[in-house]
């Protein structure tokens, strides 16, 4: 087992009737159906309705130990017994809902620390879908809307869980036409990479090693580090000019390891191609063992 | 008057009730309301309904000489008298409809040659909106659809009028979420620049000098010349990987001259900023006096 744990960042609406590949991968990444899996539903206002189909599918996939953890107050999220359940899970899936609700509820609590502990100490697989995906970043895309053009102020950031840093994650990306929202964030935060994940699609991150795109859609990387923009000079609600954004589209099946890491993969052992130069730093950042370093 | 004529590439649905800025610019670029303007409606199956609102607005803008030219057969498009009317126009606006109908009807005819003659000899302003905009390129985006992901074969090219070369033009760009269609074309034709123009938005091109974005929306440049892709290795209908596409977004009000051309502008005399390096070649190509050279 890779000693660094792994991430499964899901774009929401993962298909479960005809194909179960994304949730099957969640089970595999957690170590198989014998492992102890937990659903964290704190992003949702209807936790039981949210959890029920997942529990059905996990049962269908042969998993025997799967339970939900839900919190509605920070007091609950500081409950030691609840945090212990998270810290001892092999796979944790943070469901959809509202990422602001999730973070208001668990950010900085014992439960938040337990998530990090599970990843670090137990080499767990930490998965997040929809709101749960956005919350995995240190700078969380909390809300906002930019219909047809990038717009200053259209992407509102909040503090996220920080499993990846220097990245903003958006989900339901192509289906909700969110490229302009993500470009709006990049325009004002060129040091953040933009990661857009389509519905029924996931990015597998094996820390220190590499990535893989699975599911039905694709993943979009936006890299504005070399961009020039007038975003700082215009008013909120105005449209920035963006010159020199790097755009990369990785369809399902794309996967890359960092240079020299080909033999090191545990969960991505079948991924052997080395990342080409234009996306090496992006992938290196996503796969950091200590994201804040 | 600039001896090279100019282009006005309009993304369709130009607003005419509250603002008439795009059609006003058409009149200005043609030399003012005293000039002789022609609407070419051959892209449309309902030419009179298509032309009527334009004639209303041109009258409101003080233009006295404005007429429609319509053809439904190649024989008509080879009519010398009709071609003469085009060749002697100061401003020609190719309306919307279907760019395939337009090109099947006029491509390679006397009327096609007359359009080029008006631009070259009379320094006319050649405008195209919607279908008329797409047809201005040498390689015309004829049809196709890619909903959420770039897809091999999703963008179908045909032969266009060739006022700009090495560029594929798409219109109604943000409103119809066409970035994936344009990326699909780029994936298979990395030597073509992608130019996406939003509705109620236009790109003014003063040949040899520079460009300006006007109207309500923005213009997107996609530059795949440095991209790597597996598009050649996959089947039609499959999704290509695209690594290293340059994306530029120019909102309304953006305008650039080529290096050293600041004092040379006639129609874009108010545009003084020199194009930054990442978009210089794109603009240099769009503004070529002899696009095929």
- HEC secondary structure over B75-89: HHHCCHHHHHHHHCC
Q: How far is A220 from chain B, CA to nearest CA, in Å?
A: 9
- Asked if A68 and A38 touch (Cβ cutoff 8 Å), the reply is yes
Q: Which two tokens stand for residue B142?
A: 């004829």
Distance of alpha carbon B166 from alpha carbon B185, whole angstroms: 12
Contacts of A193 (CB under 8 A, 6+ apart): A166, A167, A168, A221, A222, A223, A225, A282, A285, A286
Q: What is d(CA B157, CA A259) in angstroms, rounded to the nearest whole number?
A: 38
Q: Give me the phi and psi of A81, to 5 degrees please.
A: -65, -40
Chain B residues in contact with A252 by the CB 8 A cut-off are 239
Question: Which residue would you say has higher pLDDT here, A74 or B290?
Answer: A74
Q: Give the DSSP per-residue string, B162-231.
A: -SB-SEEEE-STTTTT-HHHHHHHHHH-TTSEEEEE-TTEEEEEETTTEEEEEESSEEEEEE-TT-EE-G
Does the pLDDT at position B2 exceed 60?
no
Minimum-distance CB partner of B239 among A239, A246, A251: A251
Backbone φ and ψ of B152, nearest 5°: -60, 130
Shortest CA distance from B199: residue in chain A: A148
Q: Is residue B165 in some structural domain? A: yes
Q: B1 pLDDT exceeds 50?
A: no
Per-residue model confidence (pLDDT) at position A293? 65
Nearest to B217 among A148, A198, A244 (CB): A148
What is the rounded CA–CA span in Å between residue B150 and residue B146? 6
- Return the residue in A12, A190, A239 with the most chain B beta carbons within 10 A, the one to mutate for interface testing: A239
User: Which of A179, A222, A241 has its CB closest to that of B250?
Assistant: A241
Strand positions, DSSP E, A23-154: 36-40, 65-69, 91-94, 125-129, 139-144
Residue ranges of chain A with pLDDT lower than 50?
1-2
**What is the number of other CB atoms lying within 10 angstroms of the CB of residue B237?**
9
Please tell me the distance from the alpha carbon of residue A138 to that of residue A236, in angstroms, as a whole number: 24
Q: B249 and A228: CB-CB below 8 Å?
A: no
- What are B89's two structure tokens? 């126009």
Domain holding A222: CATH number?
A: 3.40.50.880
Is B247 within the bounds of a domain? no
Residue B146 lies in a domain: no
Per-residue confidence (pLDDT) for residue A290, from 0 to 100: 83
Whether B55 sits among the annotated catalytic residues: the reply is: no
In a domain, A212, yes or no: yes
Tell me the catalytic residues of A. 130, 172, 199
Q: Where are the beta strands (DSSP E) in B61-179?
A: 65-69, 91-94, 125-129, 139-144, 155-159, 167-170
Confidence band (pLDDT; 50, 70, 90) for B290?
confident
Contacts of B235 in chain A (CB under 8 A): none
Record the tokens describing residue A152, joined without a space: 């200053």
Distance (Å) from the alpha carbon of B147 to chain A's nearest alpha carbon? 8
Q: Beta strands B65-69 and B36-40: pairing type? A: parallel
Active-site position among B172, B206, B252, B254: B172
Expressed in percent and rounded to 5, the helix, strand and coil fractions of chain A are 30, 25, 45
Beta bridge partners of B129: B10
Taking the CA of residue B11 and the nearest CA in chain A, the distance in Å comes to 13
Q: Is A147 helix (H, G, I), strand (E, B) or coil?
A: coil
- The DSSP bridge pattern shows strands A210-215 and A255-257 to be antiparallel
Measured over the CA atoms of residue B72, residue B76, residue B81 and residue B85, the dihedral's sign is positive
- Chain A hits for B243, Cβ within 8 Å: 248, 250, 276, 278-279
Residue B55's pLDDT band (cuts 50, 70, 90): very high
Tell me the chain B residues in contact with residue A237 when contact means C-beta distances shorter than 8 Å: none
The predicted structure's pLDDT at residue B17: 80
Query: How many domains are there within chain A?
Result: 1
Domain containing residue B26? 6-133+159-173+197-215+254-286
Does residue B253 have a pLDDT over 60?
yes
8 Å CB contact of B149 and A240: no
Q: Collect all residues of chain A within an 8 Å Cβ-Cβ radius of residue B218.
A: 148-150, 239
* Tokens 């201005």 found at: B136
Asked if the structure places residue B66 within a domain, the reply is: yes
Q: What ipTM did this prediction achieve? A: 0.90
Residue B219 has, within 13 A of its CA and on its CB side, a CA count of 29
Dump strand ranges (E) for A61-198.
65-69, 91-94, 125-129, 139-144, 155-159, 167-170, 193-197
Q: At what angle do helices B110-121 and B80-87 cross, to 10 degrees?
A: 20
- Flag if A247 and B249 touch (Cβ within 8 Å): no
In a domain, B292, yes or no: no
CA angle B127, B40, B286 (to 5 degrees): 25
Contact A200, A219 (CB under 8 A): no
In the Cβ-directed half-sphere of A10, how many Cα atoms lie within 13 Å? Answer: 27
The rounded distance, in Å, linking the Cα atoms of A229 and A223 is 13
CA-CA distance, B248 to A33, in Å (whole number)?
47
Inside any domain, residue B229: no
Q: Contact B218/A239, CB-based, under 8 Å?
A: yes
For A66-102, b/e burial (b = at least 16 CB within 10 A) is: bebbbbeeeebbbbeebbebbbebbbbbbbbbbbbbb
Per CB-CB distance under 8 Å, the chain B contacts of A217 are 148-149
The reply to whether B184 belongs to the active site is no
Question: What pLDDT, on a 0 to 100 scale, did the predictor assign at position A292?
Answer: 77
Interface A-B, measured as beta-carbon pairs within 8 A, has a size of 96
Q: Is residue A71 part of a domain?
A: yes
| Separation between Cα atoms, residue A126 and residue A268, nearest integer Å | 15
The upper half-sphere exposure of residue B215, i.e. CA atoms within 13 Å in the direction of its Cβ, equals 30
Cβ–Cβ under 8 Å, residues B245 and B186: yes
Maximum CA pair distance of chain A?
56
* Contact residues of A toward B, CB < 8 A: 147-150, 174-175, 177, 179-180, 183, 198, 217-218, 222, 228, 238-252, 254, 276, 278-279
């Amino acid at each position: 087992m890779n000693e660094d744990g792994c991430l499964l960042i899901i774009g929401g609406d993962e298909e479960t009737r005809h194909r179960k590949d994304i949730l099957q991968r969640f089970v595999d990444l957690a170590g198989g159906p014998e492992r102890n899996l937990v659903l964290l539903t704190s992003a949702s206002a209807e936790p039981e309705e949210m959890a029920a189909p997942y529990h059905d599918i996990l049962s269908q996939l042969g998993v025997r130990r799967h339970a939900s953890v839900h919190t509605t107050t920070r007091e609950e999220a500081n409950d030691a017994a609840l945090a212990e359940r998270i810290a001892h899970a092999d796979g944790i899936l943070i469901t959809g809902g509202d990422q602001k609700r999730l973070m208001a509820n668990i950010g900085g609590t014992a439960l938040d620390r337990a998530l990090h502990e599970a990843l670090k100490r137990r080499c767990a697989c930490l998965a997040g879908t929809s709101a749960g995906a956005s919350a995995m970043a240190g700078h969380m895309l909390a809300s906002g809307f930019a219909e047809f053009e990038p717009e200053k102020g259209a992407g509102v950031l909040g503090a996220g869980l920080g499993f990846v840093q220097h990245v903003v994650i958006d989900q339901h990306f192509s289906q909700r036409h969110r490229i302009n929202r993500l470009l709006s964030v990049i325009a004002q935060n060129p040091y953040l990479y933009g990661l857009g994940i389509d519905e029924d699609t996931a990015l597998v991150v094996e820390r220190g090693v590499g990535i893989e795109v699975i599911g039905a859609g694709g993943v979009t990387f936006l890299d504005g580090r070399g961009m020039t923009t007038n975003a700082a000079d215009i008013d909120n609600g105005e449209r920035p000019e963006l010159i020199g954004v790097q755009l990369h589209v990785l369809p399902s099946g794309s996967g890359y390891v960092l240079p020299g890491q080909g033999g090191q993969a545990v969960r991505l052992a079948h991924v052997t191609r080395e990342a080409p130069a234009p996306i090496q730093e992006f992938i290196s950042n996503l796969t950091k063992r200590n994201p804040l370093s």
